[in-house]
Amino acid sequence: MSKPAVELTESEWSIIKAVWETEPCTAPAIQEKLFPPTGWHYSTVRTLMDRMVTKGVLKAKKTGKLTIYQSVVTRAQAQSGELFYALKHAFNGALTPMVQCLLDSRNLNADELAELESLIKAKKKSAKK
């Protein structure tokens, strides 16, 4: 059974993306990586990472004076959480208007449309079983 989708704040997205790229990692390593785009200091990054541990998004293991962090959620779980957040808040839980909005707002080529059709067909087949 897969872990349920999680909802991340914009700051948490910055942290988790950096963690995914470098894990296992330390807060100073993440702070160094994120300082140029964010200007965040160590205390900010450490506080965010510790909150993410409490939230169940990261896990932390003390090794001497160092705390080593690793992700608990996968990229797919985080993306799913973001998608369901948008579905719930922007579309009142209605999937069809959300998909229509995506189709209308993106200039999809024939290959992308064919891939979407294939995904829908495969889902229909599995739903019949």
Which has more confidence, 89 or 33?
Answer: 33
4 pLDDT more than 70: no
* 3-class SS of residue 59: strand
Residue with tokens 């799913």: 80
- DSSP alpha helix (H) spans, the chain: 10-22, 27-38, 42-55, 75-90, 95-105, 110-128
The CATH code belonging to domain 1-90 is 1.10.10.10
CA 118 to chain CA centroid, Å, is 25
pLDDT class for 11, splitting at 50, 70, 90?
very high
At 104 the pLDDT is 87
pLDDT in tens, 47-73: 999 999 999 999 999 999 999 999 999
16 pLDDT more than 80: yes
At 1 the pLDDT is 41
Which has more confidence, 11 or 125?
Answer: 11
At 35 the pLDDT is 97
Dihedral sign of CA atoms 42, 44, 80, 101 in order: negative
Residues 6 or more apart from 13 whose CB is under 8 A from it? 78
pLDDT class for 5, splitting at 50, 70, 90?
low
CA 86 to chain CA centroid, Å, is 13
pLDDT in tens, 70-120: 999 999 989 988 888 888 888 998 989 988 888 888 788 889 889 989 999
Nearest one of 42, 43, 15 to 31, comparing CA atoms: 42
